[in-house]
Amino acid sequence: MQTAPIISYSNIDPSPDVADLVNRRIAVLERISDDLTGCDVTLDAPQKRKLHGRVIRVHLNVHVPGPDFSVSREVAQGSARDDLILAVNRAFSAAEKHLKRHKKKMAAVEVKHHAPVLHGKISLLEPELGYGYVQADDGREVYFQRDSFTSDVWDSLEKDVRLRFREQEGEKGPFAVAVSVAK
């Protein structure tokens, strides 16, 4: 985690046991996702202090690359201490589920990979017909068209001029795209 977790208490006395539980649950979140950048935890209760029937609210704000997400859970069942531990566990369980879904969704995103830039020289040029072949430095011949050039240099081209290009596979074999004169 890039920033230390922040644990805030509102109308609840800080407890080392609860802080330890929160830190252990944050460690579980870190094991689920390496890109967790921060976590804010707010433990909240209404103003009136009661021992039984008190509503305990836990709010998590989890910072990850992309949009952050928040989880809130409330518990009001038995004693205030038991409700606090139950609310913390429920909030972190919900955050774990959300983080697992987020990780699975991000794993499905594929990054577009570009073909490497190749170099070669013109081996055949048909200026009137608008096409030619470039012999790549690895010895292969690759087809190119006038439309494949990134600038208007067609009229100045001749045999043995060095070109740089990206290769793509077509129906009739490889062809060059993003062609420019090498400098």
Q: Where along the chain do its domains lie?
A: 6-107, 117-181
According to CATH, the superfamily of the domain at 117-181 is Nucleic acid-binding proteins (2.40.50.140)
SS3 assignment, position 164: strand
Percent of the chain's residues with pLDDT above 90: 59
Predicted local distance difference test score (pLDDT) of residue 52: 61
* Entry field: residues in the chain: 183
| Within this chain, domains 6-107 and 117-181 share the same CATH topology | no
Class of domain 6-107 (CATH, top level): alpha beta
Q: What is the pLDDT of residues 46-86, one digit of tens each?
A: 766 665 667 889 999 999 888 889 999 998 776 666 788 89
User: Would strands 6-10 and 38-44 be described as parallel, antiparallel, or unpaired?
Assistant: parallel
- Both structure tokens of 121: 């020289």
